[in-house]
Structure 1
């Protein structure tokens, strides 16, 4: 696994394409091609790098590549704008003496089109679908009977096709706590595992510093991405989609999506103990504030587990009807920090100051004095962690009531991904572009 700070995180790499190898065509030629490919990838670039324009060397790779326009036929016409993405791309060596040594086709998103080279090196055909409504750059490298290299370069555009699968990436750009997951919400349901893998591989996450992370399918329309443990403090994270134009299934192609640029602040963790009735707030591992609290009483126990701050509201009106409580209340609440969709907050509770640090008397929220609630409100942000321990309540669900993602173990989290982490090693564009002979 790469340790570069800006390397893509496993589970969010360039859409996967099987690694392939060049068809054998003679021991000496294979050694020359291999030596060039080791210098620069893809191979088409390596051939040019090994040559020297105007050289008088007898080495066939030491001369400039000849123009192979007349030697190679391509099914997509040069500068065409209406190429059918449902049809494969074919490249054929026209001259009886010429052989194809490399084909490298990429679209504007950097996706590499995979393909197979025939055993006689005369014909190449794409093995993966072309993206719809995008521009392709195609480089074809050849070799004549004297071993001299040739090259043809052309561009074409594919026609837009079918319905779009749009994706809304989240959160909004900004600075968040270290517990904030990344999200992707699809406009249509996708249940087929192979189709899910296409989508998952097209969602690219980069983090600085680099961390291990993975996507998890919450349901057929929503994915969450999180690291194995919390994000590092003061990290920079970018989430982009390479789904545009990508064929997901017949008649359904990926749409565009706005990228997400997220940063993390200090590592803030609040540990609320329903037994000792104290909340300790840690900043980058050091306790910076402790305060007496009260949590849910019998029948209204606070959920146990890790929660991610969803929002901050300086004023909320809380009523018994909002949670279906049997005992009536209607209270103005200040300095309220929301933890769940169902209404758990950390907030000021001046009416229960006598019980704070003594007994649990709330309807599920974490109550504290107005001064402590104001301090908490001012010192936390969306994405920060609040963990409740030793409550008599049910466990916080991973999904459906806010961000409970961290309550799922890493092994179980990884099972929610369609991408095998072992397949990511060395799956960059250069590896994906290699040809393989047909058998």
Structure 2
């Protein structure tokens, strides 16, 4: 009896040991373990326990296939997720391939040149997905056909140097009604921090000027991305415009019609004080306008005519234009006895020929000419460069 109980106890202990081992094994064979049975920590598995299949290439066209009225300057690209672009071309209706660039990781192809107006472009290519399979890249889109293409001209040019009062002017050859779109396409970059803004002075002209005069030596870059930009009423820009120029030394002319003097301030220092004769005060048609003018052009000689006042082809020396209403600073010998004493001109600032030559040689397009003392004020009727006739708040109010 004792031997039998001893054998039963040994069998029970052996059975308990086996159960304990099985229990330990069960704790290490679950899905969160690190054992070989799990296929490694974090491996994707299907419900059947097999590795999940890798996804195919996902292709995105921008603009979407079938898109119409696309701006030819809009970003155009193909992007592939879960794969790479194997081969890709974009062709115009004549079969010519458009220039483009593939990103280093092979997932994006971007057009590298402006497209044409009113053309259909077609994608052809393939992408390989992470599943190892190739997928076709196909589709097409059509660019907008303008009702009219509008040209624009600039008043500034590459490599030129201008005075500290120079505005930037863009003039269109037709009216612009979508002024907001045009303004967004315009960028002014300066080497010296400069606060400035665009203002629409008419339906065909937009100007940029700084809040105060430019800092001398400022490097200025203008980029007008007008091609592909809607100008309103179905009109689009014909081409982009750019200019890179420099602001020169500071020279400010101060003319006072009541003291009959014309003073030159260069880089903060007075360098000249000339006797002058301005427009006849008693005749509104002859008064020299008060306000900040801007030097527009220079002419060694200039022929002046005004039938209303009965003179024609009067040639004057050393003429510096300061507005488009006929105002100049120029030499005029016959008025020398009146210069510094009385105003007798027809709106110009008369200097002696000798003084006019000295001033002429120092003048630069864009120099401000500040006239004070007269009854008339410079305004829109006086031509293109009346930008400084506005206060800064008035200027900002002319933004699109």
Q: TM-score, normalised by structure 2?
A: 0.66
Q: Distance in 2 between matches of 1:211 and 1:306?
A: 20
1:309 corresponds to 2:292: no
Which of 365, 378, 392 lines up with 1:396 in the alignment? 378
Q: Distance in 2 between matches of 1:215 and 1:403?
A: 14
Match of 1:159 in 2: 143
Match of 1:371 in 2: 354
Is residue 78–residue 110 contact of structure 2 (8 Å, CA) maintained in 1?
Answer: no
Match of 2:326 in 1: 343
Match of 1:70 in 2: 57
Match of 1:276 in 2: 259
Match of 2:96 in 1: none
Match of 2:316 in 1: 333
Q: Distance in 2 between matches of 1:268 and 1:228?
A: 17
Bigger fraction of residues in strand: 2
Is residue 254–residue 369 contact of structure 2 (8 Å, CA) maintained in 1?
Answer: yes
Is residue 107–residue 136 contact of structure 1 (8 Å, CA) maintained in 2?
Answer: no
Any residues of structure 2 matched to 1:70-89 within 5 Å, and which? 70-74=57-61, 84-86=68-70
CA distance 1:133–1:208, shift in 2 (3 Å): farther
CA distance 1:313–1:248, shift in 2 (3 Å): closer
Deviation at 1:387, TM superposition (A): 1.2
CA distance 1:133–1:176, shift in 2 (3 Å): farther
Deviation at 1:367, TM superposition (A): 0.7
Q: Distance in 1 between matches of 2:315 and 2:162?
A: 28
Is residue 121–residue 142 contact of structure 2 (8 Å, CA) maintained in 1?
Answer: yes
Q: Distance in 2 between matches of 1:156 and 1:337?
A: 57
Q: Distance in 1 between matches of 2:247 and 2:393?
A: 25
Is residue 107–residue 134 contact of structure 1 (8 Å, CA) maintained in 2?
Answer: no
Is residue 79–residue 109 contact of structure 2 (8 Å, CA) maintained in 1?
Answer: no
Any residues of structure 2 matched to 1:260-299 within 5 Å, and which? 260-297=243-280, 298-299=282-283
- Secondary structure of the structure 1 residue equivalent to 2:270: strand
Q: Distance in 2 between matches of 1:276 and 1:371?
A: 20
Match of 2:391 in 1: 409
Any residues of structure 2 matched to 1:199-210 within 5 Å, and which? 199-210=182-193
Deviation at 1:252, TM superposition (A): 3.4
CA distance 1:283–1:71, shift in 2 (3 Å): same
Q: Distance in 2 between matches of 1:377 and 1:134?
A: 56
Match of 2:167 in 1: 181
Is residue 133–residue 245 contact of structure 1 (8 Å, CA) maintained in 2?
Answer: no
Match of 1:221 in 2: 204
Deviation at 1:135, TM superposition (A): 9.6
RMSD (CA atoms): 4.2
Q: TM-score, normalised by structure 1?
A: 0.60
Is residue 398–residue 408 contact of structure 1 (8 Å, CA) maintained in 2?
Answer: no
Match of 1:53 in 2: none
**Alignment deviations for residues 301-355 of structure 1 (CA, whole Å, 9 cap, x no partner):** 211111111111111223442xx215x5763311111112221111111112121
**Alignment deviations for residues 271-305 of structure 1 (CA, whole Å, 9 cap, x no partner):** 01111111110111111111111111221221111
CA distance 1:178–1:85, shift in 2 (3 Å): same
Is residue 77–residue 110 contact of structure 2 (8 Å, CA) maintained in 1?
Answer: no
Is residue 274–residue 355 contact of structure 2 (8 Å, CA) maintained in 1?
Answer: yes
1:172 corresponds to 2:172: no
Name segments (4+ residues, structure 1) moved above 6 Å: 87-95, 103-107, 131-137, 153-157
Any residues of structure 2 matched to 1:117-128 within 5 Å, and which? none
Deviation at 1:389, TM superposition (A): 0.8
CA distance 1:135–1:291, shift in 2 (3 Å): farther
Match of 1:382 in 2: 365
- Bigger mean CA offset, 407-416 vs 354-363: 354-363
Name the structure, 1 or 2, with higher relative contact order (CA <8 Å, separation 6+). Answer: 1
Is residue 70–residue 144 contact of structure 2 (8 Å, CA) maintained in 1?
Answer: no
Aligned length in residues: 308
Q: Distance in 2 between matches of 1:390 and 1:352?
A: 20
- Secondary structure of the structure 2 residue equivalent to 1:234: coil
Q: Distance in 2 between matches of 1:203 and 1:363?
A: 39
Structure 1 gap ranges (5+):
1-56, 61-66, 96-102, 111-130, 138-143, 145-152, 419-439
Q: Distance in 1 between matches of 2:395 and 2:161?
A: 25
Match of 2:134 in 1: none
Deviation at 1:269, TM superposition (A): 0.4
